[in-house]
Structure 1
Amino acid sequence: MYRFLLRPRWLLFHLIVIAGIVGMVYLSLWQLDRLDQRKEFNSRVEARSEQPTVEFSTILDEIDSGDLDEDDAEWRTVSASGTYLPDQIIEFNNSQGGRAGDNVLTALVMDDGTTVVVNRGFVPLGQDLPAAPATEVEIVGFVRPSEVRERGDLTDADDGEPLTEVRRIDIPKISEQLPGDVAPVFIQLTGSDPAVGIADPVPVVLPELDNGPHLSYAMQWIVFAIFVAVGWVFAVRRSLSVRAAERRTADAGSD
């Protein structure tokens, strides 16, 4: 009765169904893994950003001594004071609040002579690049590690000229055109004294600390896998019904 299921065409069908179900279950588990990663990231950002503000030089000392890894310093709130250099760099191809634009990177020479790159914030496309304050400033912001090029990403221009536009905040590359010792991490500005004005870049907001759509995507893949399994059952039952009808017709014709 079921021997037809072992025919080559049906065996191929079984393999396609099994491969589809296995693939969908894998994608569901992958989404659940992404969910776990997202929850871990949210917890890390919340825990570090809520710690008391410390002097940026303290973080640098801990990084230099090996007591603190650059990635472990990310999202710590720090303060620093110094004077901005006049030259600025644009990190292009960004968005914030549903608008496309650029992030403005400005080097801050701190009171101890160390230079740190500061992401002053976001400027929408078409808006003039605001100059950095010419007076000494006190800033507060989050520590961010140097950004690295992922596989497949484009590289920034390297023609020997000082960078004016970059795709990512690559501190080792940017530091080549900055004076003195350059901090291996940058600061993402959240506040400043003098205060950030209406014409200044808008500080970059924290990433969304929600769980995203990963759980719903995981459930969707499981539902799709169930649909495929149910479809296989219907296909087998329909084939059985057709074969049974053919046998009844053949029996009636032989009478």
Structure 2
Amino acid sequence: MYGFLFRPKWLLFHAVVVAGIVAMVFAGFWQLQRLDERKAFNERVVERSQSEPVDLRSVLARIDDGSLTQDAAEWLPVVIQGTYLPDQVLEFNNSQGGRAGDNVLTAMVTDDGDTVVVNRGFVPLGIDVPAAPEVEVEGLGYVRLTEVRDRGGMTDADDGEPLTEIRRIDLPRLAEQFPGEVAPVYVQLIAAEPEIVAGDPEPVVLPELSNGPHLSYAIQWFVFAFAVVVGWVLAVKRSLATRLKAAAAERTVEDHR
């Protein structure tokens, strides 16, 4: 009665169904993994960003001696003092508050003579980029890590000329055009003295700390997998019913002979 299930066409159908179910279940668990990663990221950002600010010099010293990794330092609030260099670089293709624009990157020479890249903030498109203050600045910001090119991402020009625009905050690339030894992390500015006023770059906001759609996506994938199982069962039952009906009709014809 069930021999038809082992015919080549049905075996191919079974293989497609199994492959689809495996792929959907895998996608569901992958979304759950993404959810766990998102929750861990949110907790890390909240915990570190709300800690007491420390001097950037102490963070750099601990990174240098190996007692603190760069990953563990990210999002720590730090205080930095120094003077901005006049040349600025725009990290383009950004958005904030529903507006497209650029982030303004300025190198600061600290009181110790180190060079630190500072993301002064966001400037909407069409707005002139304000010059950096020419006086000594005391800033408060978050430690951030250098950004790397994603697979398939475009690269920035490398013709030996200083960059005025950049796709990502690539510290090794920026270090080529700034004097001195450039710190291995940069600072995302929150506040400063002299005070940030209207017309200055707007401090970049923290990333959205939501769990995202990963849970709903996972549920959808599991529902899709279940629907495929139900579809397979219905297809088998329908084919079986059709064959039983045909067999019954054939017996009826033979009985009438």
Q: TM bucket by the smaller chain?
A: over 0.9
1:199 aligns with 2:213: no
Instruction: State the alpha-carbon separation in 2 of the partners of residues 170 and 228 from structure 1.
Output: 46
For 1:127, the equivalent position in structure 2 comes to: 127
Any gaps of 5 or more consecutive residues in structure 2?
A: none
Deviation of residue 248 (structure 1)?
2.2
Instruction: State the alpha-carbon separation in 2 of the partners of residues 51 and 138 from structure 1.
Output: 19
For 1:175, the equivalent position in structure 2 comes to: 175
For 1:74, the equivalent position in structure 2 comes to: 74
Instruction: State the alpha-carbon separation in 2 of the partners of residues 111 and 236 from structure 1.
Output: 77
Deviation of residue 175 (structure 1)?
1.1
For 1:244, the equivalent position in structure 2 comes to: 244
Q: Residues 215-226 of structure 1: matches in 2 within 5 Å?
A: 215-226=215-226
SS in 2 for 1:84: strand
Deviation of residue 51 (structure 1)?
1.2
For 1:100, the equivalent position in structure 2 comes to: 100
SS in 2 for 1:61: helix
Runs of 4+ in structure 1 over 6 Å off: none
Deviation of residue 109 (structure 1)?
1.1
For 1:20, the equivalent position in structure 2 comes to: 20
For 2:163, the equivalent position in structure 1 comes to: 163
Instruction: State the alpha-carbon separation in 2 of the partners of residues 109 and 246 from structure 1.
Output: 88
For 1:31, the equivalent position in structure 2 comes to: 31
1:52 aligns with 2:52: yes
Instruction: State the alpha-carbon separation in 1 of the partners of residues 98 and 235 from structure 2.
Output: 47
For 2:138, the equivalent position in structure 1 comes to: 138
Deviation of residue 183 (structure 1)?
1.0
The C-alpha deviation readout for 1:89-130, integer Å capped at 9, x for no partner, is 001111112221111101111111111100011111121111
Instruction: State the alpha-carbon separation in 2 of the partners of residues 237 and 5 from structure 1.
Output: 11
* Counterpart code for 1:237: K
* Counterpart code for 2:217: Y
SS in 2 for 1:177: coil
TM-score after normalising by structure 2: 0.96
* Counterpart code for 1:11: L
* Counterpart code for 2:199: A
Deviation of residue 153 (structure 1)?
1.5
Instruction: State the alpha-carbon separation in 1 of the partners of residues 219 and 135 from structure 2.
Output: 55
245-254 or 29-38: bigger deviation: 245-254
Instruction: State the alpha-carbon separation in 2 of the partners of residues 185 and 120 from structure 1.
Output: 14
